[in-house]
Amino acid sequence: MNWFTFALMTVVSWGLYGIFLHSGQVAMNDKANGLFKAFLFVGLAYFLTAVLAPLAMLATRKTDWSFPAAGMGWSLLAGIVGAAGAFCVLLAFGAKGTPGVVMSIVFAGAPIVNAVVAMGLNPPAGGLAAVKWQFYLGIVLAATGGCLVTFFKPPPAKPHSAPAPRAAAAAADYKVAQLQ
């Protein structure tokens, strides 16, 4: 598979991340600590996915097991900021943010941060003036898209109501009739 296929797989994975994480938090049935319990299982998943899988890949590829300090440092920092971001997503949910809004802000803002930091670490030849106007338009459109999705999100579904007493009684009568 090529890089674009993997990028699209990441889009799908991270697009589902917030929804599944919020569902896990709610399913913990613990308003005070559900988000921390959910994040504990995120950590377990990270261990399974980010420790055991690469160890298996390295072992099957017969690696030399050398790890340069700079590579370890940058990779550890990447893991810290990634985990901190995941934790902050949960904190946003705990503060009444919804997956549709929180993740829209995250996924609109993250590419902007990425572009600015990447240009800071690797400045473009010719300076900022050499950057094409379409790049700056993309930054504006990303921010605008995040705002539009956040401000004009669809209204939430109405909560399911309890069955009407007559319907509940009819259902109970039906169950009794089935047992006889």
What's the rounded mean pLDDT across residues 55-81?
Answer: 93
Asked whether residue 78 is assigned to any structural domain, the reply reads: yes
> Residue 59 pLDDT > 70, yes or no?
yes
| pLDDT band, very low/low/confident/very high, at 69 (cuts 50, 70, 90) | very high
What's the rounded mean pLDDT across residues 10-19?
Answer: 87
Asked whether residue 150 is assigned to any structural domain, the reply reads: yes
Asked whether residue 146 is assigned to any structural domain, the reply reads: yes
Domain stop point among 97, 115, 146? 97
Asked whether residue 176 is assigned to any structural domain, the reply reads: no
Do both 11 and 80 map to the same domain? yes
Which residues constitute the domain of residue 47? 1-62+71-97
Total domain count, the chain = 2
Asked whether residue 180 is assigned to any structural domain, the reply reads: no
Asked whether residue 172 is assigned to any structural domain, the reply reads: no
Do both 127 and 143 map to the same domain? yes
pLDDT of residue 161: 62
Residue whose tokens read 């503060």: 95
Asked whether residue 174 is assigned to any structural domain, the reply reads: no
Q: What is the pLDDT of residues 18-38, one digit of tens each?
A: 889 889 999 999 989 998 999
Q: What is the pLDDT of residues 139-177, one digit of tens each?
A: 999 999 988 988 888 887 787 665 555 655 555 555 555
